[in-house]
Chains A and B, each alone.
Chain A
Amino acid sequence: MFKIVERERVNPVVNKFVIEAPIIAKKREPGQFVIFRLHEKGERIPITIADADPDAGTITVYVQELGKTTFQMGTMQAGDEIADVVGPLGNPTSIEKLSGEMFVIAGGVGAAEVLPIARKHKKIGNKVVAILGFRSKDIVILEDEFRSFADEVYITTDDGSYGREGFVTTELKEHLDKGRNIAEILAVGPAIMMKVVSDLTRHYKIKTMVSLNSIMIDATGMCGVCRVEVGGETRYACVHGPEFDGHKVNFDLLLKRLASFKEEEKISLERYQAAVGGEDG
């Protein structure tokens, strides 16, 4: 069992959890994820590690409420225990000294996932530019954290309620057109956002990595549900990824595979919400 030591609702749809997992905290590197299973009847879901404190033996994750498991996790409090936390999984992000600027692009809770990567880039001396996109002002997260170390931070909101109105690509395109010396781009967020970023940067021939959020079960290469097509070849996001060259990823396939169990997910969530509603009444 893995104890939640801190739990904070950072916006109306995202919860931050600090969880006791000493071995993972010591071992993890930026870009890696863990698998959670909340309880005996729970499913296994992958969540990227946002931060870790090896001395305290804790890891930090940001979890957006999307389906039954993440809503249920949102009701857990400090002191509660999670049945299983497995990791760190996936390959760490390759972070090297670059000849130009490092652009990190995040959509929504993806901001939490790029945070440790962006920090490490800064630490080894790269210039870091962050573009963080959100639906609206009320769900903006981690802006202060990025501002505390990044060289430039840009916020976009779909509805224009904060920062620049539009998508991350609106902001990114402007920088690309200025001809800035961008060495590498990393995009993390919803699959559709990673797709549009990759489509945009392809024309500028700038290396663009994306972190794929496939469905996973064991996440050690055994089941193959996370398979994605990269450059026409089948790859397993859990052991070969999660980061791949965005210009080579078949995003249409990824989007379809992510929707594999859409109907079942709806049944599960509705059933859960009915049960929780019943308890409250």
Chain B
Amino acid sequence: MADAKIPRQAIPKQTPKDRVKNFNEVALGYTPELAQLEAQRCIQCKKPFCIEGCPVEIDIPAFIKLIKEGDFEGALAKIRETNLLPGVCGRVCPQEEQCEKVCIMARRFEPVAIGRLERFVADWEIQQNKMDLPEIAPPTGHKVAVVGSGPGGLTVAADLAKLGHKVTLFEALHKPGGVLVYGIPEFRLPKAIVARECHILEEIGVDIRTDFVVGRTASVDELFEMEYEAVYLGLGAGLPWFMNIPGENLVGVYSANEYLTRINLMKAYKFPEYDTPIRVGDRVIVVGGGNVAMDSVRSSLRLGAKEAHIIYRRSRKEMPARNEEIENAEAEGVVFNFLVNPVRYIGNEQGRVKQVELLKMELGEPDASGRRRPVPIEGSEYIMDIDTVVVAIGNGANPLVPSSTPGLDTNKWGYIVADTETGKTTKKGVWAGGDIVTGAATVILAMGAGRKAANSIHEYLTTGEW
């Protein structure tokens, strides 16, 4: 039985002093001993809330039990029954908001470290040089196009391939993975892990076509002409938002998407060995308080910035970033500036940003999001010298697919209208999910939407009923 005396096992990490000098992964992962010790903390609830807390409903108590028994291979196979991305999810899912939040152990002690255990078995398989593939149903002859190879698209592709459907995964960039490769940094999610989990999809028969921009290279209607019977749109983030304040187009003001894409997808941190450059300078400010802001600010330190600042208009309590990421950033020396907002950027004669004017804020009444609204303090403006700005305040919708797809309705913000239970859009044979439907969210929510859509697509393919 579970032993309440065992504390939640910490995950070994690179020290802050070392890790700010490299892009290697911060968290090093459990050893088999630590994993088995942590697994003993699970009390194997008869009615486990953790499964309900997981958008892809992994049988969490079962895989943890197998870890406890030392059957790591069996534990991974158990996870793969419902999730083909354990290496990714174990690292980047906000478990504290999902499975671990509802863990019964959390009521009196700390929750079982479900995410760390999931990651452990995924990594263990790599160390063993193994690749256990899930069972695949016999071919059905149905063809499905999945547009976008981010976490949602990967989930749809995996689920439908396992059911025997022929899936083609279309990706606009040159590598599959979407935000997992262009957005989330190497130090939080090694690209080799993403590549491996994408490769597993290929091994189970998914055809991955990179360099293919649906909406340009082919329209959705042209995919149907290519005899795809169903199309899933997992388009991800669209046009990055800016604040529409003076000076935002100065050189040295990046969207977080651009900044992170240069670093992660294009490997600008290895310039000039890699051709794509990035310029950081001594003092960087990152505007925003989410995970993307944390990724940007921590990357800045690794790129040699002497000072890396978060500029956030509310207080620490309202920050949407994962607590773990905020703590990592603090340990690395990131400076947090709360209750301030940029008003304008000031450039030099070359059009390069040199200063920012900031305005202090105070918290007022709660707004629609339930968080206290920041209210400007009049006359509190001050100037800060800076070399680089990263604007990490979210993304709008990408117009390429909606504008080239008659019959596909969008809402007033340009997001695709889709049924929350099935992912069905207003166009027959077309499903959508993830950020293109909900606006910016998390990896696991996109995967949950993908899971629901895959079920609905399977039903459509087998019954023909829309």
Contact = CB atoms under 8 A, between A and B. Distances in A.
Nearest to B259: A223
Contact of A257 (B216, B277, B351): B351
Interface residues of B, number: 46
Interface in A39-64: 41-44
A261 interface: yes
A229 interface: yes
Interface stretch (B19-27, B235-243, B283-291, B452-460): B235-243
Interface stretch (B81-89, B136-144, B198-206, B266-274): B266-274
Contacts of A223: 240, 255, 257-258, 261
A81 interface: no
Contacts of A239: 239, 398-400
B414 to A, nearest CB: 11
A253 B351 CA distance: 7
A189 B141 CA distance: 50
B251 A256 contact: yes
Interface string B239-260: 1101010001111101101100
B350 interface: yes
Nearest to B248: A234
B218 interface: yes
Interface string A259-279: 111011101100100000000
A85 B211 contact: yes
Nearest to A217: B261
Contacts of B306: none
A44 to B, nearest CB: 7
A224 B240 contact: yes
Contact of A222 (B210, B212, B261, B352): B261
A89 B261 contact: no
Interface in B341-375: 350-352
A21 B257 CA distance: 28
Contacts of B398: 220-222, 239
A24 B217 contact: yes
Given A87-B213, A89-B213, A222-B240, A264 B277 contact: yes
Interface in A54-82: 68-69
Contact of A217 (B266, B279, B351): B266
B276 interface: yes
Interface core residue of A68, A220, A263, A264 (most chain B CB under 10 Å): A220
A222 B251 contact: no
B174 interface: yes
A239 B238 CA distance: 11
Contacts of B188: none
A44 B261 CA distance: 11
Nearest to B209: A23
Nearest to A89: B216
A101 to B, nearest CB: 32
B249 A86 contact: no
B217 A87 contact: yes
A127 interface: no
A217 B277 contact: no
A43 B276 contact: yes
B274 A41 contact: yes
A236 B240 CA distance: 10
Interface string A2-36: 00000000000000000000011001000000000
Nearest to A21: B211
B173 A218 contact: yes
Interface residues of A, number: 44
Interface in A93-135: none
Interface string B400-443: 10000000000000000000000000000000000000000000
A88 interface: yes
A184 interface: no
Interface core residue of B173, B238, B244, B279 (most chain A CB under 10 Å): B173
Contacts of A267: 272
A41 B269 CA distance: 12
B262 interface: yes
B296 to A, nearest CB: 13
A37 interface: yes
Nearest to B183: A222
Nearest to B397: A221
B275 A224 contact: no
A220 B257 contact: no
Interface string B197-233: 0000000000000111100111000000000000000
Contacts of A234: 242, 244, 248-249
A84 B211 contact: yes
A220 B275 contact: no
A62 to B, nearest CB: 21
A216 to B, nearest CB: 10
Nearest to A250: B249
B99 interface: no
A36 B276 CA distance: 13
A211 B97 CA distance: 47
A83 interface: yes
A236 B172 CA distance: 17
Contact of A23 (B217, B237, B240, B351): B217
Given A23-B217, A86-B213, 6 more contacts: A27-B217, A88-B217, A222-B182, A222-B398, A239-B400, A256-B251
Interface of B: 172-174, 182, 210-213, 216-218, 236-240, 242, 244, 248-252, 254-255, 257-258, 261-262, 266-267, 271-277, 279, 350-352, 395, 398-400
Interface of A: 23-24, 27, 37, 41-44, 68-69, 83-89, 217-218, 220-225, 227-229, 234, 236, 239, 252-253, 256-257, 259-261, 263-265, 267-268, 271
Closest 9 CB pairs of A and B: A256-B351, A264-B277, A43-B275, A223-B258, A224-B255, A43-B276, A224-B240, A84-B174, A86-B211
10 contacts: A41-B275, A44-B174, A218-B172, A218-B261, A224-B240, A224-B257, A256-B251, A263-B279, A264-B277, A268-B277
